[in-house]
Amino acid sequence: MDKKPYAIPNHNALGTASSQHRQHAAVLRVGRVLLGQVVEVFGDGFFLIRVGRHRFSLQSDVRLLMGQSFYFKVGKGRRPGELDLTVMSDPGLTEFRLQDALRMVLRQDAPLGDLMIDLAGSLVSSLAHEEDPDGMCEFLLSRLEDHLLQPGADGLELADVLNRIGIGYEANLLRAGSLSDDIACLLEIERDLKGELLHTLAKDPSPELRAEVERALAGLEAEQVLQVARQVEGDPNHWTFPVRDGDRWVCASLFVQHHEVEEEDPVGTPVWRVTIGVSFESIGPVRVDFTYGGGGVSMRILVSDQALVPELQTRASSLQDEIADAIDLDIDRDSLPARVSLFSASAEDIDVSRRHLDITFLRKRKVLDLRG
Could you tell me if residue 97 is inside a domain? no
pLDDT mean for each 10 residues of the chain (372 residues): 47 43 69 80 83 79 76 76 68 49 57 92 92 91 93 89 90 72 70 92 91 90 83 86 93 89 66 90 90 80 88 78 64 61 87 71 56 42
Domain check: are 270 and 216 in the same one? no
User: In this structure, is the dihedral angle defined by the CA atoms of residues 176, 177, 182 and 183, taken in order, positive or negative?
Assistant: positive
Domain check: are 202 and 280 in the same one? no
Domain check: are 118 and 88 in the same one? no
210 phi/psi in degrees, rounded to 5: -60, -45
Could you tell me if residue 368 is inside a domain? no
Structural domain that includes position 85: 5-92
Could you tell me if residue 105 is inside a domain? no
CA dihedral 354, 155, 119, 220 (to 10 degrees): 60
Could you tell me if residue 104 is inside a domain? no
Residue range 69-106, pLDDT digits in tens? 777 778 777 777 677 777 665 544 444 455 555 555 55
Domain check: are 124 and 224 in the same one? yes
In the chain, DSSP finds a helix count (H) and a strand count (E) of 13, 12
Residue 181's pLDDT is: 61
User: Measured between alpha carbons, how far is residue 1 from residues 87, 88, 104, 226, 317 in Å?
Assistant: 9, 6, 12, 21, 43
Q: What is the CATH number of the domain that holds 75?
A: 2.40.50
Domain check: are 335 and 269 in the same one? yes
Residue 2's pLDDT is: 43
Residue range 97-116, pLDDT digits in tens? 555 555 555 545 578 899 99
Residue 14's pLDDT is: 35
pTM: 0.67
Last residue in a domain, options 92, 127, 158: 92
Domain check: are 141 and 222 in the same one? yes
Domain check: are 130 and 186 in the same one? yes
Q: Domain total for the chain?
A: 3
Domain check: are 267 and 206 in the same one? no
Instruction: Please list, residue by residue across 123-138, b when 16 or more beta carbons sit within 10 angstroms of its beta carbon and e when fewer do.
Output: beebeeeeebeeebbe
Could you tell me if residue 248 is inside a domain? no
Could you tell me if residue 241 is inside a domain? no
How many other C-beta atoms lie within 10 A of the C-beta of residue 37?
17
Residue 13's pLDDT is: 34
- Rounded CA separation 143/209 (Å): 15
**Which residues pair with residue 102 across a beta bridge?**
none
203 phi/psi in degrees, rounded to 5: -85, 5
Residue 120's pLDDT is: 94
